[in-house]
Amino acid sequence: MTTLDGIRLVARRELTERTRERSFLISTVVTLVILCGFIVIPKVFFSDRTTTWDVGLVGAGSAPLGRPLETQAPLVGARVRVHRSADVAAAEAALRDGDLDLAIVDGRQLLAESDPDDQLVALVQAASRLARAQTALAEARLSERQIADALAPPPLPVRTLEASDPERRANRAIAFPAVLLLYGQLIGYGYTVAVGVVEEKATRVVEVLLSTIRPVQLLAGKIIGIGLVGLVQLLIIGGIGLAVAVGIDAIDLPPGAFATLGMVLLWFLLGYAFYSVLFAVAGAVVSRQEEVQNTSTPMSLVLVASFLAAISALSNPDGPIATVSSYLPPTAPLVMPVRVAAGAASGWEIVVSVLLTLAAIAVLVPLSARLYSGAVLRSGARVKLSSAWSASRG
Amino acid sequence: MLELKGLTRRYGDVVTLDDVSFSVGEGQMFGFVGPNGAGKTTAMRIVLGVLEPNAGEVLWRGRPMDNQARRQAGYMPEERGLYPKMRVRAQLEYLAELHGLDRSAARQSAGHWIDRMGLSERAGDRVEALSLGNQQRVQLAAALVHDPVMLVLDEPFSGLDPVGVDVLAGVLKDKAAAGTPVIFSSHQLDLVERLCEAVAIINKGRLVASGTVAELRSAGRRRRWEVSVAGADAGWAAHLSGARVLDQAAGDANGRILLELDDGTDEQAILDAARRAGRVTYFASSQPTLADLFRQAVQP
């Protein structure tokens, strides 16, 4: 039996036993429910809330403005409802009652309660300017056709330097649930590794196992097996989550959606490799399940901090915190995917960040393997890292 | 043959095993005894490669025991080692594969040992759902499932009921008869004495005696005889020449006393002396039990 056979057997056991556990099904469903909540709730409560303005028209001079206001409002993402007011006094009363947002008096004056909405004022001004220009041009005896050409020239085409807003919005809409999922998987499966290691210690299975395979094989098989469980769960949740999001039209699937998901998978693998070996050491130095929580605290805290950095990167992907933390190996797995989704990270930045994380993993793996080997057979009191280090010959 | 040569293991300043050497022949049933904390478990762990010795080596068939040889050994650790949540059959198949069996051989062997241990009805249950005795049987099956060429069992009999003891003893005898060296530790010295051809006694990390039970009995010991004499004076044996009374027999309910004979003394002369003192109702050679040897060996 080769080294790889041993690793494969251990990994296969982790994968088959853990996916058969009821807890796997439960955690999958719970995560899905939470995730779908994040997708569905904004859709139900916050979408389609276009601003509606009520505008009162007083006098014949205001009448021609009604239609242009109604047709132009959607250009600024709003809607205008036009009301006829009998006279200025009625309009003032309606403004005070909040029934009107703005009144136009005879096409010559705008009336508001206090600070009128800037966008609304700009909209009305534009409509009024158009109407007055139309009148002036008609008085100068221009033909209908000439007036139309002068006042409604074809709009200027817009060329954007970066992805258009709706696309970015959609990418960010994916980024939040994605980073939440990533955080959950990293902390959840990292902790699973720690608990799995201490379970083998507490039940002394580790002695039986290590009489036939070496500690490094057991460690590698365990980490790979549990990682595969996490990956399978990630694929299930990601797939269903995306299907739900598209199904209820919460997200217009932007072209970058699959790239974002690919990033999530890549960073799950990198982040898991980084953290799982540390969690394994946290499990190896103690002998009882209750103690794992204490020794895992440093990793959990760093993961929470990374998550907070990722949340701040959602709103400010180019800020110094987001930029620096997207290069640091402990925080990069959660922050970099956000910056990528927000379109704030260029290709070389991603490559550098991946390489830095890989380098950190390359340092951590042999280090952790040695500590694990030196500690995993010592039961009783918590094993000091220094004595685990010297007890093991690597 | 399995040979332990000069095994030494230290934890910091504490020496748990100090230059321990003995050997176990093929097909030999070997008992490993000693007080708690004597170093038995440490020695067994070193044999299985679970621990590294600070000095010394383990030889199997004349060559250093490597991973290949260890994989063919069956090991039962003192505090047991099974995944509580794993099902019996899956667990045995997994361990068989880890020891190098292919999948179908592992399946077949797991089935065989499940039957042999009387676990057929529990094969699909999680280990944690089994009674302690049944868990112990699974543990033994786990040590045997890959048809090991040597068996190293740490306290295999502890916690078993008499029926379980018989099943286990039967299995171990079969393995030994098939040529497998079987080494096990136990505090049940009567059991060790009944089953084992040879024993090693270890105390405070040092080997204090080893060899066949017969060798240990005769080594450095004078012959002992037990005598009962009806109607004799209490002190009739006090001044026998060539023999002396051992304390531990004094106060025996049957009035039986234990005599230790000097090397040149003829036991018939002692019998004559006893008959002169009264009516001899009992006169027999006394064999020390393993427990006697053990106490003698570990007492300062």
Confidence of residue B259 (pLDDT cuts 50, 70, 90): confident
Question: Which amino acid belongs to residue A245?
Answer: A
Task: Say whether residue A381 is in contact with chain B using an 8 A CB cutoff.
Answer: no
- The question of ipTM being above 0.85 is answered as no
- What is the pLDDT, as a whole number, of residue A163? 54
| Residue pLDDT, tens place only, A2-45 | 788 899 999 999 999 999 888 899 989 988 888 777 777 766 66
Confidence of residue B161 (pLDDT cuts 50, 70, 90): confident
Per CB-CB distance under 8 Å, the chain B contacts of A13 are 94
Determine the residue of chain A that is closest to B76 in CA distance. A208
pLDDT, mean of residues A165-186: 78
Task: Say whether residue B51 is in contact with chain A using an 8 A CB cutoff.
Answer: yes
What does the CA dihedral B184, B190, B193, B194 come to, rounded to 10 degrees?
A: -100
pLDDT, mean of residues B168-183: 92
| Residue pLDDT, tens place only, B209-243 | 888 887 877 766 677 888 888 877 777 777 788 88
Task: Find which of B65, B76, B94, B98 to mutate to test the A interface (most A CBs within 10 Å of its CB).
Answer: B98
pLDDT at residue A258 is higher than 80: no
- What is the pLDDT, as a whole number, of residue A86? 82
Determine the residue of chain B that is closest to A7 in CA distance. B98
What does the CA dihedral A14, A16, A19, A23 come to, rounded to 10 degrees?
A: -60
Confidence of residue A266 (pLDDT cuts 50, 70, 90): very high
Question: Do the Cβ atoms of A204 and B81 come within 8 Å?
Answer: yes
pLDDT at residue B251 is higher than 60: no
pLDDT, mean of residues A239-263: 72
- State the nearest Cα–Cα gap between B262 and chain A, in angstroms: 50
CA-nearest of B222, B289, B282, B221 to B252 is: B282
Q: Given the DSSP bridges, would you call strands B198-203 and B206-212 parallel, antiparallel or unpaired?
A: antiparallel
Q: What is the number of other CB atoms lying within 10 angstroms of the CB of residue A254?
A: 21
Question: Do the Cβ atoms of A208 and B75 come within 8 Å?
Answer: yes
Determine the residue of chain A that is closest to B146 in CA distance. A212
Q: What is the number of other CB atoms lying within 10 angstroms of the CB of residue B210?
A: 20
Per CB-CB distance under 8 Å, the chain B contacts of A206 are 81
CA-nearest of A269, A193, A279, A213 to A9 is: A213
- State the nearest Cα–Cα gap between B71 and chain A, in angstroms: 5
| Structure tokens belonging to residue B42 | 């440490």
Task: Say whether residue A207 is in contact with chain B using an 8 A CB cutoff.
Answer: yes
- What is the pLDDT, as a whole number, of residue A49? 56
- What is the pLDDT, as a whole number, of residue A232? 92
CA–CA gap between residue A162 and residue A164 (Å, rounded): 6
Strand order in the sheet with B29-33: B73-76, B150-153, B182-185, B29-33, B198-203, B206-212
pLDDT at residue B264 is higher than 90: no
| Residue pLDDT, tens place only, A189-204 | 999 999 999 999 888 8
pLDDT, mean of residues A309-322: 88
Task: Say whether residue A214 is in contact with chain B using an 8 A CB cutoff.
Answer: yes
CA–CA gap between residue A71 and residue A94 (Å, rounded): 23
Confidence of residue B108 (pLDDT cuts 50, 70, 90): very high
Determine the residue of chain B that is closest to A22 in CA distance. B85
- What is the pLDDT, as a whole number, of residue B105? 94
- What is the pLDDT, as a whole number, of residue A51? 77
CA–CA gap between residue B77 and residue B154 (Å, rounded): 5
CA–CA gap between residue A167 and residue A161 (Å, rounded): 13
Cα–Cα–Cα angle for B192, B4, A378, rounded to 5 degrees: 85
- What is the pLDDT, as a whole number, of residue A394? 38
> What percentage of residues in chain A have a pLDDT greater than 70?
91
Confidence of residue A162 (pLDDT cuts 50, 70, 90): low
pLDDT at residue A292 is higher than 70: yes
pLDDT, mean of residues B124-130: 92
Three-state secondary structure of A211-247: CCCCHHHHHHHHHHHHHHHHHHHHHHHHHHHHHHHHH
CA B200 to chain centre: 8
Q: Given the DSSP bridges, would you call strands B279-285 and B224-230 parallel, antiparallel or unpaired?
A: antiparallel
Per CB-CB distance under 8 Å, the chain A contacts of B82 are 203, 205, 208
| Residue pLDDT, tens place only, A359-376 | 999 999 889 988 888 888
Question: Do the Cβ atoms of A211 and B70 come within 8 Å?
Answer: yes
Q: What is the number of other CB atoms lying within 10 angstroms of the CB of residue A60?
A: 9
- State the nearest Cα–Cα gap between A18 and chain B, in angstroms: 10
Rounded to two decimals, the pTM is 0.74
Mean pLDDT of chain B, nearest integer = 86
Question: Do the Cβ atoms of A212 and B99 come within 8 Å?
Answer: yes
Confidence of residue A229 (pLDDT cuts 50, 70, 90): very high
pLDDT at residue A393 is higher than 60: no
Mean pLDDT of chain A, nearest integer = 84
| Residue pLDDT, tens place only, A108-131 | 888 888 888 888 888 888 888 888
Under the phi-then-psi rule, with left for phi > 0, alpha for psi from -120 to 50, and beta for the rest, what region is B32? beta
Per CB-CB distance under 8 Å, the chain B contacts of A18 are none
pLDDT, mean of residues A75-83: 82
pLDDT at residue B247 is higher than 80: no
Per CB-CB distance under 8 Å, the chain A contacts of B70 are 211-212
> What percentage of residues in chain B have a pLDDT greater than 70?
95
Q: What are phi and psi of B285, to 5 degrees?
A: -70, 135
Per CB-CB distance under 8 Å, the chain A contacts of B97 are 9
CA-nearest of A376, A198, A197, A196 to A290 is: A198
Find all residues with CB under 8 Å of A183, minimum gap 6, and list them: A303, A306, A307, A310, A334
Q: What are phi and psi of B281, to 5 degrees?
A: -100, -15
Task: Say whether residue B97 is in contact with chain A using an 8 A CB cutoff.
Answer: yes
What does the CA dihedral B113, B119, B123, B125 come to, rounded to 10 degrees?
A: -140
- What is the pLDDT, as a whole number, of residue A377? 79
Looking at the partner chain, which of B83, B90, B98 has a beta carbon nearest the beta carbon of A6? B98
pLDDT, mean of residues B198-204: 90
pLDDT, mean of residues A317-345: 89
- What is the pLDDT, as a whole number, of residue A382? 82
Determine the residue of chain B that is closest to A378 in CA distance. B51
| Residue pLDDT, tens place only, B33-88 | 988 888 898 999 889 888 888 899 999 999 998 878 888 899 988 877 899 999 99
Question: Do the Cβ atoms of A207 and B90 come within 8 Å?
Answer: no
pLDDT, mean of residues B124-136: 90
CA–CA gap between residue A130 and residue A257 (Å, rounded): 43
Task: Say whether residue A17 is in contact with chain B using an 8 A CB cutoff.
Answer: yes
Tell which B residues from 257 to 296 touch A, by Cβ distance under 8 Å: none
pLDDT at residue B248 is higher than 70: no
Determine the residue of chain A that is closest to B81 in CA distance. A205
The residue among A95 and A392 whose pLDDT is bigger is A95
Confidence of residue A357 (pLDDT cuts 50, 70, 90): very high
Question: Do the Cβ atoms of A199 and B83 come within 8 Å?
Answer: yes
